[in-house]
Copies of this chain bind each other. A is one copy, B any other.
C-alpha cells in the first residue's frame, strides 16, 4: 500500500502514518518527491485498507498496490482450473453449452426443452424454479415442484442441471435434488451470506456478475466462496447496466480476456439476458466464443411466445440447433471445439 501525503504534511503527520503501518506488522519505506512524500507499506498489505489512512491528518490519499483476491487469482495458481460437472469438463478446450428455459413451467415444456437442448448439442440443462422478478405481482417460479420437473426432464436426456439459488434456506433442498451446478444470480452476487453458504459445500457454483459490479468486486465475491473452501467456481458474464436504453444490458466481452488473465477459473457467458432479445443471441454467442469464453448459457423454449418469463429472449430448439453449428465453426477457427 502507498500513502500519498499532502504537500504541506508535517513530520509528525508522516510519523503517525508510519507508526500505524508498523502497528499492523508491516515495514515502512518513505520516498520524498518534489511535490509529495510517499509512504510505502512493505509486507502483506491485504491487512490494510485505504480507509485506515485516508482520514489521518496530512494524508491526501492511499491505495493498494496488489490485488485483494488471492485464491481465485491466476497470480497464485498459474494453470487453468477445469471443473468437473458430472463428468463434463468446464474450462478445458471444449466450449460447453448450457441450454434450457428461463423458468420451469410444465412437464411437456421441460421435456421438449430437454430434447431440444440435447439435440442441439448442449451438454447441460438450465431452468429456473425460483425466479427473481422485479414485480411482486409477476410469476415467481414453480418452486420445489419446478426443481423436480427440471431434474426428471434433464435426467431423461442425460443432462446435468443448473438452477438458481436465491435463499439460503433452500440450500438443503437443492442438495436433496442433487442440483449439479448452483447458480448465484446477478442480484445476489454480493449477498454475502449466500456466498458463504455455497462456500461450505463442494457443488460447482456459477457466479453471475452483478449488473453493475466491477471486475474487482466480482473476483472478491468469488473469493468469498473460495475462502469457505469451495473452489468450483464458474464466472458468468451476463451484461452490465449502462446509459444505453436500446437493449437491456451491454454484454461486456472485454471481461472475458480480462478475467482469463486475472483468474484460473472458467468464464462463461449468458447472451440471452445480456441483450434481452432472441434475435441478438446469435451475434452475442458468436462474439463470446470468439473472445475466448469457456461456455455459454442460452435460453431456449419450445414455444417462446407462451413462455411465462423473459419470453422475448428465448430461442426455439430449431434456432438453437442452427446457432450451434455456427458456433462450432467459430470454435474450430480458434482451435477449440464445442
Contact = CB atoms under 8 A, between A and B. Distances in A.
A90 to B, nearest CB: 19
A65 B29 CA distance: 16
Given A2-B2, A192-B133, A305-B55, A168 B166 contact: no
A77 interface: no
A261 to B, nearest CB: 7
Interface residues of A, number: 104
A59 B75 CA distance: 15
Interface stretch (A146-154, A155-163, A219-227): A219-227
Interface string A54-86: 111000000001101000000100000000000
Contact of A253 (B133, B136, B227, B287): B287
Most chain B C-beta atoms within 10 Å of own C-beta, residue among A169, A250, A257, A313: A257
Contact of A220 (B38, B65, B136, B215): B136
Name A's interface SS: mixed
A302 to B, nearest CB: 13
A198 interface: no
Contact of A31 (B29, B169, B275, B332): B29
A166 B188 contact: no
A172 interface: no
Given A250-B254, A287-B290, 7 more contacts: A55-B278, A134-B190, A134-B217, A168-B168, A187-B191, A216-B246, A256-B283
30 contacts: A34-B43, A34-B44, A35-B44, A35-B66, A36-B65, A51-B313, A68-B135, A132-B190, A136-B220, A136-B224, A166-B193, A168-B168, A212-B212, A216-B246, A240-B242, A240-B243, A242-B252, A247-B258, A250-B250, A250-B254, A254-B275, A258-B280, A261-B279, A286-B290, A287-B290, A289-B290, A326-B333, A329-B334, A330-B330, A330-B334
